[in-house]
Chains A and B, each alone.
Chain A
Amino acid sequence: MSLPPWMLDRTRPDTSSSITAEASVPEAQHGRGPRNIVRRAVGSFAKLLEELLANDAIAAEPGLLQQIDPRAKVIGLIGLVVVTTLVHQLTTLALTYGLCLLLAALSAIPPRRILRVWLAIPLFSAAIMLPALLNIVTPGHPVLTLWHFAAPNLGPWRIPPTLTITDSGIFVALRFVLRAAVCVTLALLLTTSTRTHRLFRGLRALGVPMLFVMLLSMMERYLTVFVRAAEEIHLAKISRSIVVTGISREQAWVAAGMGALFRRTQSLGQAVYLAMVSRGYTGEIYTLDEPRWKDTDWAFLMIAVGFAVIMLIVG
């Protein structure tokens, strides 16, 4: 083997190429921009994986909810979510939220995990609830006047002379936000205190078909494989990116990367199927018998049902 002449040149840095200072900024150091959408997307997926792993670590803690059978938890906590949507009293909702915090504390779920819902809820509920505060949507006693209209008639339509925030509007908004907080927190308690595969198995208690549960389970199993593959493809691309390329080249690369990932998905999918057939799979799905419910599981379910009944009575 003999090296070509250009490879024998030991001059460093190599000045033969046309790399300019501006063009050679590594992609990894870029700030914002459409080019970084892929990096952010891959980063988000990687973060999701970390969260799933962190969830598994919390689910392995010796807390109260972790001791309960997933089926009891799925029925009890999802039942409470349904009842929460029927409750009108702010005090009932506040008490239920307090119960959620107590359960989180007894289950060694970090408070920041639970309180993080308050970052998301105002964001999602604002768009719905801001109009509900106003007298044009929720009539009531004015609490704060925002605007006086000079001409209250708009063609054939008559609009109120003032735009005000009403006491009924504030009540409706508070109720909505509290309801959302309770529901999201209950869901969070369920997902963080239960390992994902047990959670899926718990869904069978709600009558979800076994085939669907198995598909969910395999999806979760291979999600990590493909997120890691996507991350590898992206990192390999960054490590070979020398100059900044145009958006159209980037788009072409993203499409090619997606294609490569799809091919891997297809080939792994086929290999998984063959591995299943090799171990006797003929289309029927059988699972290990579910463990029997313990007294604590029944007790948890009874308490959840009792609390739900009280919530419904109080309203």
Chain B
Amino acid sequence: MSVFVVEDARFAYPGREASVNGVSFTVEPGERLALLGANGSGKSTLLHLLDGLYFPQAGTITAFGQSLGEEAIERAPFGPQFRKDVGFLFQNSDAQLFCATVEEELAFAPLQLRWPMAEIHQRIDDTLQLLEIAHLRDRAPQNLSGGEKKRVALASLLIVHPSVLLLDEPTAGLDPRSQSVLLEILEQLHQQAGMTLITATHDLTVLPHIADRALVLSEEHRLVADGAASTILQDTDLLLSVNLIHAHAHRHGETLHQHPHLHVIEHDHSHTHQ
């Protein structure tokens, strides 16, 4: 059974033009998928739709074989089961970490699921250890660094063992070490736990680490490509057209050269002597 089936979904914020415009795709269990697009292309909105936080005004989304509508998600057992199965890592960790301490943050979802206290405490211990943040247990989220906040936010999702993770620009604003630690954790979750990962990003340098398949959204909020991440990365014309790379000129001595600018792509470019 597919994790998500999105068919011709359209969504517009009140009084604005469509943020997601007639998008269709399917996500299978265990896939690593990236939603690529420039700023404002509708990646985050699409993640909100997949998490059942917003609902399409036209078209349909089904999750685990059931329609993901406003009524369906409020109804048990589908609603609570969906919330347990799908975790959403928000781009802004300050929005995601709303409890007074890291421990309470981790306890939030299991408490909503009315798990026994002993199990909740055990899961908190295990998850804190897994993400190597046990020393932060009593700390207030506002006093953590960006990398620590991201790990706590991820821990708050992993504690209920979701089968799908939606990640909104997970590496944005992280220093290189925090970024590398986070990518390593995501890699493990996919390889060892078989989690489905859907990541929205415009950072092509992390793409090979987070996705095998990529969907590309244009600045007109439409899906313009769906294929293997490695193939998408080589398609410089496509990436230029959706503003994910840009034409770049610089000098080496007397030589001015111009080429699409992205360091993860091997590419040919011409030099002009001026």
Contacts and interface: CB of A to CB of B under 8 A. Distances in A.
Contacts of A126: none
Nearest to B83: A280
A268 B79 CA distance: 24
A195 B83 CA distance: 32
Nearest to B79: A282
A264 to B, nearest CB: 11
Nearest to B104: A288
A267 B188 CA distance: 33
Nearest to A213: B100
Interface in A268-295: 268, 271-272, 274-282, 284, 286-289
Q: State the majority secondary structure of interface residues on A.
A: helix
A218 B198 CA distance: 30
Interface residues of B, number: 38
A279 B99 CA distance: 12
Q: Is the interface of B mostly helix, strand, loop or mixed?
A: helix
Interface string A214-252: 000110111011000000000000000000000000000
A27 interface: no
Given A221-B142, A278-B53, A272 B95 contact: yes
Interface of B: 48, 51, 53, 74, 79-80, 83-84, 87-88, 90, 92, 94-96, 98-101, 103-104, 107-109, 111-114, 117, 120-121, 138, 140-143, 156-157
30 contacts: A56-B140, A56-B143, A197-B101, A197-B104, A200-B100, A217-B100, A218-B98, A221-B140, A221-B141, A225-B142, A268-B92, A268-B94, A268-B95, A271-B95, A274-B48, A274-B95, A275-B90, A275-B96, A278-B87, A278-B88, A279-B83, A279-B87, A279-B108, A279-B112, A280-B113, A284-B112, A286-B111, A288-B107, A288-B120, A288-B121
Q: Which 8 A-B pairs have the closest CB atoms?
A: A197-B100, A280-B112, A271-B95, A286-B111, A280-B83, A279-B109, A224-B142, A278-B88
